[in-house]
Amino acid sequence: MKRILIPVDFSKDSVNAAKYGINMANKLEAYVRLIHVKTGDNYAPEFAGNEVMLRINDQLEVWMSELLESVKEGYYVNGGNIDWKIREGNVVQEISNQAKYDDTSLIVVASHGISGFQDKIIGSNAYRLAANSPCPIIVVRHGVEYDTNLEKIVVPVDFDKDSVQIIPVVAGLATIYKAKIVLVGLQDSSFKHVLKRLKTEMELVERYIKEHADLTVEKKVLKGRSLSKKLRAYAKEIDADLMCIRIHHSANPLANMFRPFANDMVNFSEMPVLVVPTFDI
């Protein structure tokens, strides 16, 4: 059975992500594990309210048990299991290690929902987790609750040969939800041959999807600069439920230093973003 890993820091945002992840687990028939990474910072769970005993520091086991009790009533996978784990150390590293250890299929996290958030110039822990995750990760926008009944999934398309690695993941998820896939070509050049090449790539992706899944596919091309902003605006305009992007994990460390498009999408998208890791072929 699949497993979904949900990092929490006891904030309302992470509780929201936990509920989102559990709803997905019900659809995917997956085990669920909540994980908290102890960093040494002093804080209290937001869900504790004015309950003094719950707000006493160093009661992480109690907090995790309380959080699990508050969200598990929404979990109804037949034969499934929902539990929690506490680790200590670097937030991103420990979550990534747990995902590898559990052979996790999907991580669900709030964009500001894991402790140790730093200024967005550096990048949120959610983005750094997405950039280092061994498996796909869904980042849920902080402060927003979503319906997990996915009906429309937006997938940007470019020329990079590695970009096609995300299509089987997207097609598989869309098949489970019977969702429509909207392929969005991103064109930052006015040259006609560039547009022709982009449309050819989109047709190849559409053909793959239709050959492997009975899904509805639509296509759209966005042109110009600030394409991440235009993509977010378009996804909002068509009332999409999920945005799917990739972060490439290269053996060349210099290739991993700058990912402005993915960073923008993770930190500023108003809808959940599915980030799929791709690797050198």
Question: Under CATH, domain 152-243+257-268 is a member of which superfamily?
Answer: HUPs (3.40.50.620)
Amino acid code (one letter) for 224: G
Q: What is the CATH number of domain 3-140?
A: 3.40.50.620
CA nearest 108: which of 186, 188, 23, 27? 23
The reply to whether 152-243+257-268 shares the fold of 3-140 is yes
Q: Which residue has the higher pLDDT, 193 or 135?
A: 135
Report the pLDDT value the prediction gives residue 52, as an integer from 0 to 100. Answer: 46
Secondary structure (3-state) at 268: helix
Question: If you ran DSSP here, which 8-state letter would residue 128 be given?
Answer: H
CA nearest 141: which of 154, 127, 151, 155? 127
Domain borders along the chain are 3-140, 152-243+257-268
Rounded CA separation 270/144 (Å):
8
Q: Please count the other Cβ atoms lying within 10 Å of the Cβ belonging to residue 61.
A: 11
Over residues 207-266, the pLDDT tens digits come to: 999 998 889 999 999 988 888 999 999 999 999 999 999 887 766 655 554 467 888 888
Which structure tokens are listed for 95?
A: 């979550």
Over residues 83-106, the pLDDT tens digits come to: 999 998 888 999 999 999 999 999
Q: Which residue has the higher pLDDT, 192 or 203?
A: 203
Torsion-angle region of 212 (φ positive above 0: left; ψ -120 to 50: alpha; else: beta): alpha
